[in-house]
Amino acid sequence: MVEFGDFKCPACAQFTGVIKPQIVQEYVNQDKAAFYFVNMAFIGPDSETASLAALSVYHQNNDAFWTYYDALYANQGDENAEWATEDFLVSLAEKEKLPVDLDLLRKDIQERTYESELQNDISIAKDTGVTSTPTVFINGHKVDKPFDMEAIDAQIKSASEAVSAE
């Protein structure tokens, strides 16, 4: 399962707060599915800044990434204002007590260390035809209603049956 999202996207924050916990509980924690995130930073400049911070956290401690991902969405600012500043992003990691080097996080944001990886994610979104966030795929098939858990359940079941039949 792959989510294309933007840390500045209010609908993505809603998906993360409501749907993702159900997916994690029902499928990821039961080893029935894996959940991946692809950055589609397109709303504003701090979409990229937040993505660069998240990539830094991921590269330092990939388990901490999901805590940071949830915290970014839970503490999301207004879509029309710049809120994902370097200071905010580092202080959020500190507040969440992430097991990462905060100085390295700040340096990675300043130097845009993972810029090429971010641009690769954005290219994947474009090449896949993703035009809005959140967009979710299950085994390469787009989920038509990412806020409908019953539809997601049905699509996961269908994908699981297709894999079992092979």
CA distance 46 to 85: 7
Determine the 3-state secondary structure of 155 from DSSP: helix
How many angstroms separate the most distant Cα atoms in the chain?
A: 51
Question: Phi, psi (5° rounding) for residue 93?
Answer: -60, -40
Which structural domain range is residue 28 located in? Answer: 2-165
Show pLDDT as tens, one digit a residue, over the chain (166 residues).
999 999 999 999 999 999 999 999 999 999 989 999 999 999 999 999 999 999 999 999 999 999 999 999 999 999 999 999 999 999 999 999 999 999 999 999 999 999 999 999 999 999 999 999 999 999 999 999 999 999 999 999 888 888 777 7
| Residue 102's CATH number | 3.40.30.10
Q: How many CB atoms lie within 10 A of CB 51?
A: 27
Domains identified in the chain, total number: 1
The amino acid that residue 155 corresponds to is Q
